[in-house]
Amino acid sequence: MGRVLRVVFFAAAAFFVILAFLDIGFFLFEPRASTGGYEWASLASGLAQDVVMFYSFVVCALIANDASKSETPFSCKQRNRALRVAWFMLAYTIVCFFLDPIAAQLQYSAGSATVGLYAGEQAGDLYINFETLIAAGAFFLFSYILNYGKTLQELADETA
């Protein structure tokens, strides 16, 4: 099962590499009528998302790879991997909190507010990427569970 998961996670990571190249390609070769600056913000947002997802899937593939080699998942290495992904996703959520309103204003001022960032109708809208916030929470929980399992394994080894 670990080998299958490893392949699936590496394939998902490769998908986000392809998406990053597509983002850059569309940015470089798509004709633009205006140069309002929102294109840069849209590209930065897309690339940031691609990098976060790529990193997350690579770490999941590494965890699955170690599990396929019969290594225990309850180790500091696995816990730290999950914790790094959680912090990375939380940082991305915070960046989106500031980047999305700026990009939305640039899109609105350029007259093309339909480019796909979360542009709201009111100036006071909150721009929170709940998907990555929930995923970050899940990875924090996963790292806690791995740490708890490591502690239980150490206690069991001491009593044996």
Check if the beta carbon of residue 122 is closer than 8 Å to that of residue 105.
Answer: no
Check if the beta carbon of residue 6 is closer than 8 Å to that of residue 68.
Answer: yes
Q: What mean pLDDT value characterizes the chain? A: 83
pLDDT band with cut points at 50, 70 and 90 for residue 107: low
Domain span at 34 = 1-159
Of 48, 91, 66, the closest CA to residue 9 belongs to 66
Task: Encode pLDDT of 21-53 as tens digits.
Answer: 998 988 888 766 555 566 777 788 889 889 999
Global pTM value:
0.78
Task: Encode pLDDT of 64-80 as tens digits.
Answer: 999 889 888 899 999 99
List phi, psi (to 5°) of 83. -65, -40
How many structural domains are present in the chain?
1
